[in-house]
Structure 1
Amino acid sequence: MSYSFSEKIFSVANYLLLTVIGLVSLFPFYYIIVGSFTSSTSFTSSEISLYPKEFSLEAYQYILSTSTFLQSIGVSTYLAVVGTLLSLIVTAAFSYMISRKRLYGRKVFITLLIITLLFNPGIIPNYLIVQQFGLMNSLWAIILPGLISAWNALLIKTFFNSIPDSLEESAYIDGANDLRIFFQIVIPLSLPAMAAFGLFFAVGYWNTFFNAVLYLTDNEKWPLQVLLQQMLVSSSTNIGDAAAGAGGEVQVTPEIIKMAAIVIATVPILMVYPFLQKHFAKGVMLGSVKG
């Protein structure tokens, strides 16, 4: 396929513009990474550099030696793992239910689901419900209210609609019940969709901030994002037993500690994505062009 001279000029200009935009967008995060691996003396005495002029792990040693930061990492990991698994199971089960035409009252369930999608009750009703169920200051206050999303349920339902009914009919003839069909036939066939939405759920739980501030009063239960926000807005980076140095005074530049904390909070999700990339690409497209 041949391109005209003007089309070639447009393509080159387009690629150059997108490259510049991409570099400008990535530079702040790259600078944070470089700064987190720079020594305090080099950081305070040097201008912005594209590489660590004096490589140091002192910021990471400082952060990872604190029980408060490690505890917040454990809380975020617990929320991401448990919350993602429960959200996938509940959302997939509900979506499978409303995708089966044999379900009695199926249209009513779908209508109620769409109503919750269009009309959000707001913060106060959610807060009162969490309070009445005795979930305040509990990690379940973050997990349970977000187990199912109307939008995600509708998307997964669309994917389930593409699974042939003949597979279920054959399984029924062989004596399988609904639970066995769901876990041994439907879920294995839905791995691309499960991987895609599992990544969405994991990112959401890992980045939990507002609900944690709203429902958790004990700072020992703070997830990583809340602790990170406290570090970023505060002039002090003494977290818990983090005071490394004589007299409890921090010897590491606070800005470097904040940069290292941002990197630690970001890297886990970036490490998970490559393992799900193949299924993620399929899961995003499947269900949008079928059913």
Structure 2
Amino acid sequence: MKVASRSHQRGNIVLVLICVLTIFLCLFPMLHIAARSLSSSTALIRNEVTFWPKGWNLNAYRLVLRDSRYTISLVWTAFITVIGTCLSLVMTTLCAYPLVFDKLKGRKLINTFIIFTMYFNAGTIPMYLLLKDLGMLNKPLVLIIPYCLSVFNMIIMRSFFYTIPESLRESAEIDGAGPVTVLVRIYLPLSMPVIATLALFYAVGRWNGFSDALLFMNDRRYYPIQLLLYNIINAISSIETATQEGFSPPGLDETLKAATIMFATVPILVVYPFLQKYFITGVTLGAIKE
């Protein structure tokens, strides 16, 4: 028993060390960028910054906050993230829920077609031509409607719906409840863990997305924060372009890059604590329970 106990303790120590190392590897890039954004240009040029700022200065953040492009783009990105996430959750639910019913005609064929799109798609050029024919290019809706449904997330929600006892649905149907009532009154209240998990997945994807705006949006007024960040970082890499963009203070380029990255990253991180309870439950849906 003592040998087993010692072996168990050693195993726990190894697991703790692995967790600590993993946390460090995840936090190090963020701490490093945060330290660079708060450090002086001299310290950055000398490579003296690791994860603690040296020569504290907030000039980069002052420039970011004074530039209306950042704040407008941040608000716009938050808007399309909220609207896009809500739309994605509605579409995912409406797609997953009917596939739970065994009596749905052609259910297996529909499942096959949906999963087929998960592995094969037409590509970027056909997508561009389709959106062009629909008149959606350079319109705000092009950042919201396309890619509003993820087949992978739909499968996760459908799998969760399968775990809800059929007896609940049957008892509701006996009492006269229709499919919509069963969905709203039974399935959705019991599905908060998976809904919160998928909401986080969709929100992070929307917030970090810039390829769709890069391909389908030329109007700078509707640039999301990630595309603006991409353009700004490319711009301030060149002294001439940086001067044209209004970033003329000498030696501020590296600090400004770090500040813009933090400005674009921190808001989405704030969302996680509010969904943490449901998220932890949601990601363990497939776990074996004793």
TM-score range, shorter chain: 0.7 to 0.9
- d(CA) in 1 for partners of 2:96, 2:280: 21
The equivalent residue for 2:170 is 169
- Structure 2 vs 1, CA of residues 18 and 176 (structure 1 numbering), >3 Å: closer, same or farther? closer
Deviation of 1:287 (Å): 5.2
The equivalent residue for 2:284 is 285
Provide the secondary structure at the position in 1 that maps to 2:145: helix
- d(CA) in 2 for partners of 1:226, 1:206: 10
CA deviations on 1:145-181 (whole Å, 9 max, x unpaired) are 2111222111211110111222222223333332222
TM-score, normalised on structure 2?
A: 0.86
The equivalent residue for 1:155 is 156
Letter in 2 for 1:216: M
Letter in 2 for 1:53: K
The equivalent residue for 1:202 is 203
- d(CA) in 1 for partners of 2:180, 2:87: 16
The equivalent residue for 1:271 is 270
Bigger shift: residues 166-175 or 97-106: 166-175
5 Å-filtered alignment, 1:83-232, equals: 83-232=84-233
Aligned 8 A contact 1:37 1:55 in 2:
yes
- Structure 2 vs 1, CA of residues 162 and 19 (structure 1 numbering), >3 Å: closer, same or farther? closer
CA deviations on 1:238-265 (whole Å, 9 max, x unpaired) are 8899748xxxx34671211111111121
- d(CA) in 2 for partners of 1:240, 1:126: 37
Aligned 8 A contact 1:159 1:288 in 2:
no
The equivalent residue for 1:56 is 57
Aligned 8 A contact 1:37 1:57 in 2:
yes
The equivalent residue for 2:30 is 29
Letter in 2 for 1:232: I
The equivalent residue for 2:255 is 256
CA deviations on 1:221-277 (whole Å, 9 max, x unpaired) are 111111111122222598899748xxxx34671211111111121112221112211
- d(CA) in 2 for partners of 1:267, 1:241: 28
Letter in 1 for 2:252: T
- d(CA) in 1 for partners of 2:62, 2:176: 58
Gaps of 5+ in 2: none
Aligned 8 A contact 2:48 2:54 in 1:
no
Letter in 2 for 1:162: T
Letter in 1 for 2:99: I
- Structure 2 vs 1, CA of residues 4 and 195 (structure 1 numbering), >3 Å: closer, same or farther? closer
TM-score, normalised on structure 1?
A: 0.85
Provide the secondary structure at the position in 1 that maps to 2:209: coil
Letter in 1 for 2:269: L
Bigger shift: residues 43-52 or 273-282: 43-52
Bigger shift: residues 120-129 or 21-30: 21-30
Q: How many residue pairs are counted as aligned between the two chains?
A: 286
- d(CA) in 1 for partners of 2:242, 2:187: 47
- d(CA) in 2 for partners of 1:289, 1:198: 24
Aligned 8 A contact 1:156 1:287 in 2:
no
Deviation of 1:47 (Å): 2.2
Deviation of 1:289 (Å): 6.0
- d(CA) in 2 for partners of 1:5, 1:189: 42
